[in-house]
Structure 1
């Protein structure tokens, strides 16, 4: 396993520019920050920090991605907001289910209910996953470095047309994830730490303050 990972890492390094990240590239990575932080990854990092084979297996099992064509097809679907668009009817009329989700999000993030209720799209559920998935596909060798940044740039531009700040981006992500069927409690602490820029002292994850450092709109 170690030999395989060393070989995969060598292949990655052979195709990676090794250039320091620009401030704009760091801003683009911030759009995937919730999922990077949740997985314990360096938020403002583009190089793999652990076993690449684990990500290759995860992409296959969770996303059915085994090659470049499948990676690009899946990413194009996320950038097209295919999944979050399916949720749009839920926001068109009040319901006990939606109201309950909004109240839970407001309580979990420490936001007032009105600010949560004004978010009428789950676009960030697709955008955050597109940014994180692009990096993981890059690690697996399914995207080039330039293609990876291209996906992230497109994701940020789409977010700019759908939202206005990191707060509603966070709410939008949680709406999508919860409507999708995931447990809110599983991620609410992580998202609050990212939103406030304050992580626990015992968790030494770098760059939790990304939302205070980088502008949502470029």
Structure 2
């Protein structure tokens, strides 16, 4: 069972007192799109690859321009264990493979025609028995978020759900987890980049630009968490990345193919 399949929570269960104050200081002093002062210079392609996880990086206050996150390793290790069941290389690779090959997009692909009001039933044959048990929750979440997604311009109408892909939601988390697993020593730098590059290739095959990517990410987040997970914050981060002149999305396009 994968815990907290959204983003790594900022809540730390050990050393709670010290961690709370260090985290509070970090939040107060946080500036958008933090850069690693000691980071290696990335090629445009490497930065575009890293930008697949830009929403997650902003939410967790990670560096936006390096494989290293800038966060405390103990905090990362605790969160990987608590929310993703990742404690070593084997569990790290299991989660990364799940995100790369299946993720939550399998649920969306099963329910999107029904949720769009086009089909009278879901495509449940693509789901495992365990996945079928979770499907009603995701259907409910999408239903309660359609109005907000339309008002914010992520979809043009309920029927527009049929044209969407939430691959971005899975690949954004893959980049986040690959970075964290590298920081903890569960996977090598080469392995981390390998997974992230595959995520980038998949996204380039589906999305034309960062705006389309952002829509896919937000829709996926809304399907996963619904209103209970307060999607307004994620929407704000995505909108900032699309608009802010200093945003990494403004610096490098999604479609960059040469080092």
TM-score range, shorter chain: 0.7 to 0.9
TM-score norm. by structure 2 comes to 0.67
Match of 1:133 in 2: 177
Aligned counterpart for 2:165 among listed residues 108, 112, 121? 121
Q: Which moved more, 1:48-57 or 1:87-96?
A: 87-96
Task: Provide the aligned length of Structure 1 versus Structure 2.
Answer: 193
Indicate the SS of the match to 1:160: helix
Match of 1:176 in 2: 220
TM-score norm. by structure 1 comes to 0.78
Query: C-alpha displacement at 1:50, in angstroms?
Result: 2.6
CA distance, structure 1, for counterparts of residue 216 and residue 155 of structure 2: 15
CA distance, structure 2, for counterparts of residue 57 and residue 143 of structure 1: 16
Query: C-alpha displacement at 1:105, in angstroms?
Result: 2.8
Indicate the SS of the match to 1:44: coil
Match of 1:193 in 2: 240
Match of 1:202 in 2: none
CA RMSD of aligned residues (A): 2.6
- Matching of residues 26-175 of structure 1 within 5 Å: 26-93=47-114, 94-95=116-117, 98=142, 101-108=145-152, 113=156, 117=160, 119-175=163-219
CA distance, structure 2, for counterparts of residue 162 and residue 173 of structure 1: 12
Query: C-alpha displacement at 1:19, in angstroms?
Result: 4.1
> Is the alpha carbon distance of 1:185 and 1:212 closer, same or farther for their aligned partners in structure 2, counting shifts above 3 Å?
same
Question: CA contact under 8 A between 1:65 and 1:71: conserved in structure 2?
Answer: yes
Q: What residue ranges of structure 2 are gaps of 5+ in the alignment?
A: 1-14, 16-38, 118-138
Q: What residue ranges of structure 1 are gaps of 5+ in the alignment?
A: 2-17, 199-206
CA distance, structure 2, for counterparts of residue 91 and residue 129 of structure 1: 21
